[in-house]
Amino acid sequence: MLDQALLRTWGLYGLVQKEFARDKILATLAPLSEEQKKQAKSIFLAYLDVKNETELRSLMLAEALDEHELQRRAERFFSWLKHCEHYFRNQISSLFLKRKSSLDRAVYSLHWVDDEALAHELFIRLKERECSFEQLFCSLPAAPDERIPSGKQGPVALADVPPALAELLRVSDPGQVWPPQPAEGGWVIVQLEELQPAVFNQGLKRDFALELGDRWLQECMQEEDLKELLA
């Protein structure tokens, strides 16, 4: 085993301890069936967003994996995933409902200017439909010190948008243009193009199951550390 001090120096000690704890739990689970072993690799690669052979070879090279090691890693991942999906099956949908508003995605247009009077003039032109955002982007050059990139954005999850802007988009109707809002020392005009509600699909179920599993694993490790301290 690698020296603990060396692992701590590399910043890997906590990760190694976590994987040891995960293996202890995995050792108590029923082994995968042959059919599940066949599924494991494709599910693991989908989770890693590996789309083709080129990306797969890059992954294997970066991780120094051969086919056998890749399969073993995939089966380990699949076993943990199935355990989390079963163990937390009653919590996954609740977590989705709690997070849904931040998982919704938006397509919007935004224009930033440093002059308040110009911002209000542009807003009126847009509101009165004298021009579209596309025409606006073509007719006005970007400011040399533009603080917020102008243009069409998204689809992007509202969780990845600044909170004030996310709230504005959340209460917007498609096509609605908002009056200039102060931002980054200037003014922004925002128009919602489309709001895409989050769908509770297999990818989200998987991600929530893994998140809950890792949170639980961390709690188990802390409890184990506490037991050792009190022993």
Write phi, then psi, for 132 (nearest 5 degrees): -105, 170
User: Could you list the mean pLDDT of each consecutive 10-residue stretch along the chain, which spans 231 residues?
Assistant: 80 89 93 96 96 95 95 97 95 93 92 88 88 77 65 90 89 92 87 93 95 93 64 46
* The token pair that represents 180 in the structure block: 């200039």
pLDDT at 115: 86
Output the CA torsion sign for 13, 15, 20, 25: positive
Residue 173 backbone class (left: φ over 0; alpha: ψ -120 to 50; beta: rest):
beta
pLDDT at 49: 94
State the Cα–Cα distance between residues 34 and 187, nearest whole angstrom. 60
pLDDT at 231: 46
Please tell me the number of Cα atoms within 13 Å of 90 on its side-chain side. Answer: 1
